Structure formats: structure tokens, C-alpha cells
Structure 1
Amino acid sequence: MRRHTGGQAGTAQAVLEESAKLCGGVRAPLNVEGDRNPSSWRDSVVTATPGFREAFHQFAAAARNMRGSRYWSRALTRP
């Protein structure tokens, strides 16, 4: 991890922990819902599994917050 973070393992650890929260708490529970109500495409319209739209918006909001950080690009690049 050190070579990807310029020695800032704490930053990488925080990113990984937040990603785990999103995947474990938001996306993983949708697997069962996706099995019961799969996404579909009909007449050029995609209907997503219930909950996927909200999960995507949470993911997008988290990405915007990270991208907006003035330290983001420096924190996760190689030295």
C-alpha cells in the first residue's frame, strides 16, 4: 500500500474502510433483492432492481466528496 499512497497508509486505510461500509451495508443487501426482482430491459427502457438507484446515488455522493477534497489527488498517487 505504501507505494500507492506516498507513505500515507492512513489515507488509504480510510478510503478502504469507507468503501467496505458502502459495499457491505448498501450494495451487498441488494444482491437478494436483485435475485428476486432483477433489472430488466423492455421497449428501450431499463428498469433497475428496487434500491439500486438509491445505492448508486450514495456511491456517486461519496465519489464527489472524495474528488472535491483538495488533497485527494496527492493522497492516492505514487510519490
Structure 2
Amino acid sequence: MNEIEEKQEEESLALWEVFQGVIAMFIGVQSEKNRERQFKYGKVHQFIIVGIILTIVFVVHIILLVKYAMIWAGA
């Protein structure tokens, strides 16, 4: 590995990396390399908070989609 890659691995995960990891976990496409890096350098509370936020966003979108479909169907 070069110096840049070593420096990046020593640091904690950025917020966008946590979001990317949680989304990958949601849909089940997480690579083994990324999973190991996230478990090594990530903090549990970051993943829990991002997971809760993304779950709430997902549920709200589903509710709005159903309401829109009901209005569109004339119910």
C-alpha cells in the first residue's frame, strides 16, 4: 500500500463512508474488504444513528408513496 492508503486506514471513517456502509448493509451488497474496514475503524454509535435515520427516511417515503397512490387511485 502507498502512504495515502495507509493514512486513510489509520483515520476513523468519514460521515459519507458511514452512510455508504449502512446503505450497502441495507441492500446486502457490502464487500468483505469494506465490512472489515468499517468494523475496524468505525464507531458503533455512528452506524446506529445513521441506521435509525435511514430507516426513518425509508418508512416516511413508503408512507408518502402509499398516500400518493391512494390519492391517485381515487380512494
Task: Give 1 or 2: higher helix fraction.
Answer: 2
TM-score normalized by structure 1?
A: 0.35
Whose Rg is larger?
2
Normalized per residue, the structure richer in strand is 1
Bigger relative CO (Cα 8 Å, ≥ 6 apart): 1
**TM-score normalised to structure 2 length:** 0.36
